[in-house]
Structure 1
Amino acid sequence: MQFKQLPAYRVRRVAESILDMAEELFTRHLDIRVLDWRVLVKLAEAPGSIPTEIGRDILMTPVQTGRSLLRLRELNLVVAVPDPADGRATRYTLTKPGHSAYQAGMKIVLEVQAFAMRDLSPVETVALNGLLDRLMASTAYTPEDVDRLSRVLFGDTRDSA
């Protein structure tokens, strides 16, 4: 099997294509990146989140999270407030322009998704969503799964020190 025929490659290629189009629209109309918009999504769903919660929940590194929050603060899309219970922590919420950017971003994402799936019938769309749900569930793994596959592939190569 050729690399470009692997399902993982194909899924990633589709995701990158969709993301690239969305990124162009976000830059053109909102002056933010898709990554920044994901922070707005988190704050729309959970106002008052701290950076570690934001990063963890939307799969961003601490550096990515910090940069996005800084950018969003500069654009007045989020506001930072000290946590009253823990003075060392900072909580973030959306501003009114932040809510507007979140909503505009949602329109972009939905329209780009519709564009990407324009050739699929409603039945195919339902089937694809079901398959993606199953694939996401089946690709979740534990350290034990990694150990098992490592043994299958390479035998027991762990140091016994």
Structure 2
Amino acid sequence: MDLSSFLPYRIAVLSESVSQCIAQVYRERFGLSRDEWRVLAALADAGKVKTSTVIASTTLEKMQVSRAVSRLEGDGLLERIPDPEDGRGWLLRLRPAGRALHGKVVPMVQAREQFLLDALAPQEQQALHQALNKLQERAQQLSAQG
């Protein structure tokens, strides 16, 4: 098998390359790990949510989210508040400092994303998004089949 033409390998290599160039922004300028950035971004979009919601929306494992939450909480970027519907559970929400940090990072990572997308014509960008959606659906079907 030629890995250079094997779709899962190509997607993994591209994903790693894109993640690394985006991560340079939040890691080098703001000291955030990939997991911390994903949690921060998920909370900025969601408001206050359960940890399980963050896990589902970030594709991170429970322990990865737990560590990221602990660090972000320790840095004063998010807070845990008691879940009124579950006496044992917690809800997570960004503190003002977390929102401010998110607001600084987003334009920088979006600029990098746009630089990457500028390699494609608008029609190619649309086709890429459509193809990615279709492949994601198929991958989920295969996962469900076992």
Measured after TM superposition, the shift of residue 41 of structure 1 is: 2.0
State the AA in 1 paired with 2:110. L
**Runs of 5+ unmatched residues, structure 1:** 147-161
Q: Which deviates more, 59-68 or 85-94?
A: 85-94
State the AA in 2 paired with 1:72. L
**Equivalent residue number for residue 37 of structure 2:** 37
**Equivalent residue number for residue 84 of structure 1:** 84
Q: How high is the TM-score relative to the length of structure 1?
A: 0.81
**Equivalent residue number for residue 111 of structure 1:** 111
**Equivalent residue number for residue 150 of structure 1:** none
> In the aligned structure 2, how far is the partner of 1:101 from the partner of 1:43?
12
Q: Pairwise CA RMSD of aligned residues?
A: 1.8
> In the aligned structure 1, how far is the partner of 2:112 from the partner of 2:58?
20
Aligned CA distance change for structure 1 residues 124 and 142 (closer, same or farther; 3 Å): closer
Contact 1:76–1:97 (CA<8 Å) still a contact in 2?
Answer: yes
Aligned CA distance change for structure 1 residues 78 and 124 (closer, same or farther; 3 Å): same
**Equivalent residue number for residue 67 of structure 1:** 67
**Equivalent residue number for residue 28 of structure 1:** 28
Q: How high is the TM-score relative to the length of structure 2?
A: 0.88
Measured after TM superposition, the shift of residue 96 of structure 1 is: 1.0
Give the SS at the match of 1:79: strand
Partner deviation per Cα, 1:90-115 (whole Å, 9 max, x = no partner): 11111111112222232233122122
**Equivalent residue number for residue 127 of structure 1:** 127
Q: Which deviates more, 70-79 or 33-42?
A: 33-42
Give the SS at the match of 2:86: coil
Contact 1:18–1:112 (CA<8 Å) still a contact in 2?
Answer: no
Matches within 5 A, 1:86-101: 86-101=86-101
Measured after TM superposition, the shift of residue 86 of structure 1 is: 2.9
Work out the number of aligned pairs and report it: 146
Measured after TM superposition, the shift of residue 127 of structure 1 is: 1.4
Give the SS at the match of 2:87: coil
State the AA in 1 paired with 2:140. A
> In the aligned structure 1, how far is the partner of 2:19 from the partner of 2:63?
20
Contact 1:4–1:10 (CA<8 Å) still a contact in 2?
Answer: yes
Measured after TM superposition, the shift of residue 48 of structure 1 is: 2.1
Q: Which deviates more, 133-142 or 54-63?
A: 133-142
State the AA in 1 paired with 2:60. M
